[in-house]
Structure formats: structure tokens, C-alpha cells
Amino acid sequence: MTRILLYLTAGLTLAAQNVVSPEVAADGRVTFRLAAPKAADVLFYGDWMPVGTSKPMAKGANGVWSITTEPLTPSVYIYHFVVDGVTMADPVNPRMKLRARTSASLLEVPGDGNAVWQARNVPHGTVEINYQKSKVLNGETRWVWIYTPPGYAASGSRKFPVLYLFHGSNDTAGGWVLAGHANFILDNLIAEKKAEPMIVVMPFGHAVPFGSPRELQAKNVDVYEQYLLEDVMPMVRAKYRIAGTRAKTAIAGLSMGGGQSLGIGMKHLDLFSAIGSFSAAVPQGLENNIEALKKANPLLWVACGKEDSLFQRSADLAAKLKAAGVNHTWQATPGAHTYTVWRQYLAEFAPLLFH
């Protein structure tokens, strides 16, 4: 890292010190720049690109490397640089994509401002960060991000339904807000009366430290389930005005979090009336819950992008559910393993809840 900092600070020209990155043009093309005059090789990756690929950046006479994309569809994207083999975020872009390990940067291509994930001129809810000392996790202090809908503070004794919403592997509790814009999505749906005003609870999904040995990582789902049931849910019941009934409680997640929502939701059908699976890392053994699913008949919503490496796992799950006669919705959509897809899934799933 010291070497990288030297690259970014040693001998910069005035032009290099005043780098603008990213720069979004009117046609949706984006230019990325990095001042690294001592670097020998700089690569670029954006999450609209195939996973595992990168593109070389060109070095200018002033020591600033740059690359310009083709026009991008309006969305929020994740990108990073690779400087002489070291992955790093854009040092001049304040919009960070925090992760459990490493970080990247966020790019917004705004479009016309009417997308469901954008901040519109509507009443906004509040996102609070709750710090909680976990009994399950040996006293570790963890954060839980919680969205309350517009007007919650002034709504007196009114109780609200709650959605427990989980992020993916190597993400943080803030992922659904910082990259997913879940708060804006709910604001807009509620303003349009397409979704019930609800509380959204977003815990940190790595109950076992990210990067632990494989045998320890295998325990993450079980430990996270215990953490959710014994720490997070009691805290939410004590601090927020939630209805607390099965009919008014839902669970959903993306990738790793989609697998967690399926596993936990199907094991606790007495607690959750709806289960959402977005591009899930589908766990094994879910067929053991078939008869319980038929009896409880939750809203079960499964979706995955056709270009996603996890697509077949969701498709196989949907086929098993169909063969067993379990009521569910299966959506095979365009797209890969990105928040561009997951924002749309949340926007489609949330209006189905709590009716």
C-alpha cells in the first residue's frame, strides 16, 4: 500500500493533482482517471463487464491514466482500478463501495431522474445505524441498518410490517442502502402507493468472519440464523413499532443473503409470510421443506439473471418447487450478478408484501 501511495503522490503535475474521476458525459459515456505517474500498468474493471475481465488504461504525458466507456444504461455501478497488480478504489471519488474485505467505488449514471432507485421529490424515510452488542457472537458489537418509512416518527402508536433484507458475500450491512438504494426504492413505491409503508432491517450477514477457513465459513448460515433470531429480531421488536405477526413479517436477500433468506425462511415458516430470493446462493437440502411450504403457503419469490453464474441453482430450485406443486413465482431475467438487477427485484418484490 505504501508503494501505491507513492505512485499517487510523487511528482504529480498540476493537471494530475486536479484529476476528475469519474466524469459522466451527456450520452452516458464515462471517463475514469487515476494519477499514478510511477505505475507501470493500470487496469480497470466495472461491474457491467464480464466477471474476471479488465481493460487497460492509457497513460497520459502528465502521469494520469484514463479510460472512457461506451454509453452506459442509467444505473449505479461498482468499479475499481488495478495498479501494478494491486486492486484499489478510485482515490478522488468520495462514493465508496464498502466491503467486508477491500473496497471499490460507486458510479451513478443518472438518466432522467425517474428510475425507481433514484432520489425523487417525494417524502423520504430515515435510515438509522443501530449498534448492538451480540450475545450470540460473544459480545461483538455489530451494526444493523434500519429503514423507517416516511412519517414513521409522527405516526403515533401505529405499528408497521417489517422486511428483513440481507446483502451478499463480502458486502456490509450498508450495502442495500449505499449501492442498492433500497431506501429510495421504498420511498418511491410508498409515495406511489404501490407498497405498504414498512420497516426494513439490514443486518451484517457475516456472522463468521469473512475470509475464515472453509470449514468455519460453512457454519455461517447456522450462526447467522441464531444471531438473527436471538439478537436482531428481539432488538427490532424492543426498539421499533412493528406489527410482529407472521402476516406482517417478510425475509429476502441477494446472493449469499438470498440463500440465507431461503434457509432461514423455510425453517421458520411460523415467523415469515414471504420469502424473497434474489440471485441466491441456493443452499442444499431445501427439498426437505417441501411439505411445510405447501402447508404454510408463503409468498415465495425467486429470481435470477440469465447471465449470472448462480442462475442454474435458482432455475433448479424453481423446477423442484414446480414439480412438487409448491406455489411460487420464478423470474428468469436479463442481467448478471449486480445491484442493477437486484434493485429491480426489490422494486418488484416489495409491492407484493403484506396484503
Q: What are phi and psi of 202, to 5 degrees?
A: -125, 90
pLDDT digits (tens, 9 = 90+) for 264-280: 999 999 999 999 999 99
pLDDT of 4 higher than 80: no
Stated as kind and residue range, the H or E segment containing 8 is: helix 2-9
Q: What is the CATH number of domain 2-109?
A: 2.60.40.10
Band the pLDDT of 8: cuts 50, 70, 90: very low
pLDDT at 16: 54
Q: Which amino acid is at 223?
A: V
Per the prediction, the chain carries an average pLDDT of 93
Instruction: Choose among 189, 31, 35: nearest CA to 116.
Output: 189
pLDDT of 235 higher than 80: yes
The angle that helices 220-227 and 256-267 make with each other, rounded to 10 degrees, is: 60
Band the pLDDT of 11: cuts 50, 70, 90: very low
pLDDT at 218: 77
- Contact partners, residue 236, CB within 8 Å, separation at least 6: 146, 162, 199, 201, 242
pLDDT at 229: 98
pLDDT at 151: 96
Q: Spell out the domain ranges in the chain.
A: 2-109, 126-352
Residue 308 and residue 335 in contact, taking contact as beta carbons nearer than 8 Å: yes
User: Within 13 Å, how many C-alpha atoms sit on residue 32's CB side?
Assistant: 27
Band the pLDDT of 6: cuts 50, 70, 90: very low
Residue 334 and residue 306 in contact, taking contact as beta carbons nearer than 8 Å: yes
pLDDT of 100 higher than 70: yes
2-109 and 126-352 have identical folds: no
- The β-bridge relationship of strands 329-333 and 141-148 is unpaired
As its CATH architecture, domain 126-352 has 3-Layer(aba) Sandwich (3.40)
Band the pLDDT of 92: cuts 50, 70, 90: very high
Neighbours of 297 (CB within 10 A): 11
pLDDT digits (tens, 9 = 90+) for 19-41: 999 999 999 999 999 999 999 99
